[in-house]
Amino acid sequence: MRASGAGVTQLAPQDAEFVYSESSRHRSNIVVVYLFDTSAEAAPLTEPEAIAWMRERLGHAGMFTRRLRRVPLDLDLPYWAPDPRMNLRDHVHVSPVEAPGWDPLRRQISRIADAPIDLARPPWELHFVTGVTTRERSLRCDRTAPGDPDRMTAAVLKFHHSAGDGIATRDLGRRLFGPDTAHPPVPIRPRDWSTTTAVARAIASLPVQCWRFRRGLAAAGAADERVRAEVADGTIVEPTRSRPSCRFNRPISAGLTFDLVILPGDQIRAAQAAADGATVNDVMLATISGALRTYLSEHDESPDSSLAAMVPMSLRGTGKGVADGPEGPRATHLALMAVDLHTDIGDPLDRLRAIGAAVRMEKQRSRNEHVRRAARRIESSPALLLRLAGRAKALMNHSGPTVERYNTMISNVPWAGDDLLLRSAPLVRTFGILEILDGSGLRHLIVSSRGDEVAVSFSTDAAMMPDTDRYRDLLRDSLRDLAERARKVCI
């Protein structure tokens, strides 16, 4: 999601995959929420002011002025092309919060996050929710800190995943809300997209696409053989392929809802001290594992064996060829780890140590050169094959007793920084919301860390989890129990 000109560029296969997987039950959106302290402002932000503010910043990302254009019959990968009809009124919206307190704000943001993005326009939206107040007791209940202001504005940035990943999102937030008042010029829009030219180019490239696909299959096949050999000699360990299904691995049936919990840093550090080498993310994985274990137990749905999580790992800067794909700059640079959550271990500290070992094992596997070469088969996949794979995902059966590799998603994004501003209003907190989809109805996002706290948001299907307050309390209780157990060991 780097700032770029307004010219036509083609998507890399890794980014195009999000386009081909898009459906009403598999949305590929990224949503991040910034809360700003507006208690010193004389009047709330208006829509004309918000549009003027955003107009100055359109040069910070190509997606702001370009839209996705697919080649007819998907003969080739989609393109980013200038949208001469782009109107900021379609993308920037300002509305007051519906009522004081956390729950009205949560419902308002949930509706924003759950609504589809119009891919016939530049695929982004920026919503400002004004008049947010913390005076209601419910908002202070571990969603905010005691010193949070009484009046805030929430800026909700939403865009399609094909335009960037979590790290790119953080960097874009720094550019949009950073203290630097100098912004890149808005690109001058060249002539409109030519479908005829794109089709002609695609037809001409078909022999090259076929040759590249065959070469990619051969390279991936050779890498697969090396991976099997290293698995056999114990150099790397493949994650368990089958996990027991739970209520969150069914087709989604209701609207997206989310909640947020703020976890104290002293409890995280206590847990780290008792588990040699444990990271903040290890502690968060163990916290979520404990909450998930208890939640399913309370509903008499304890699985027969351990559950696992999809944990994205950034590959940025980890090796040659990571920054750019064969078709041009890539927007997403991720490896998807399958981490055993060890929900079958009762002792919270033992569970943390086992999860830490599982994370290290998966990082080693994901960074293995042969594993990465095998995963690069997508880089040579033709557009039509990617489209068919996207359709196959939509037809998957999610009613069986097992799932493949993982049950939930746990992602993390570093703190965006303390110097972000909305006009003159300083940033108080930021958190994100992950889209849910069939087979993955519970997803978590960790923002670590601001000062002495870590924010964990979770999104879910309202039918799968009608009692988000209970799960939020279980997350808090899980970390507290882990910290108490760790302190006893350290005495």
pLDDT confidence of residue 321: 45
Residue corresponding to tokens 């095998």: 374
Our CA angle for 296, 300, 301, nearest 5°, is: 50
Please determine whether the domains at 9-199 and 240-414+438-490 fall in the same fold group of CATH. Answer: yes
How deeply is 434 buried, as exposed, middle or buried, from its count of CB atoms within 10 A (0-12, 13-18, 19+)? buried
Q: Sign of dihedral through CA atoms 92, 260, 356, 450?
A: positive
pLDDT tens column, 439-490: 999 999 998 666 678 999 999 999 999 999 999 999 999 999 999 999 988 7
Say whether 39 sits in a helix, a strand or coil.
coil
Of 447, 408, 446, the residue nearest 289 (C-alpha): 408
Q: What is the identity of the amino acid at 433? A: I
CA distance 70 to 72: 6
DSSP letters spanning 378-425: GGG--HHHHHHHHHHHHT----SSEEES-SEEEEEEE---S--EETTE
Domain ranges of the chain: 9-199, 240-414+438-490
| Beta bridge partner(s), residue 130 | 96
pLDDT confidence of residue 172: 93
Domain 9-199: give its CATH code. Answer: 3.30.559.10
Of 488, 422, 451, the residue nearest 151 (C-alpha): 422
CA distance 285 to 293: 12
Four-way CATH pick for 240-414+438-490: 3.30.559.30, 2.40.37.10, 1.10.3720.10, 1.10.340.30: 3.30.559.30
pLDDT confidence of residue 324: 41
| Cα 472 → chain centroid | 19
CA distance 465 to 469: 10
CB-based contact 37:153 (threshold 8 Å): no
Average pLDDT, consecutive stretches of 10 residues, N- to C-terminus, the chain (491 residues) = 61 93 89 94 95 96 94 95 93 95 93 94 97 62 60 96 88 92 81 86 94 93 94 93 96 91 94 92 97 98 96 70 46 86 97 96 94 89 91 85 95 83 92 94 85 89 95 97 91 65
Within 10 A of 383 (CB to CB), how many other CB atoms are there?
A: 23
CB-based contact 263:451 (threshold 8 Å): no
pLDDT confidence of residue 147: 56
Which DSSP letter does residue 147 get? T
pLDDT confidence of residue 6: 55
Say whether 319 sits in a helix, a strand or coil.
coil
Structure tokens that stand for 83 in this block: 């949208």
Q: Which residues have a Cβ under 8 Å from the Cβ of 156 and sit 6 or more positions away?
A: 31, 32, 33, 34, 109, 112, 113, 125, 126, 127, 128, 129
State the angle between helix axes of 383-394 and 13-21 in degrees (0 to 180), rounded to the nearest 10. Answer: 40
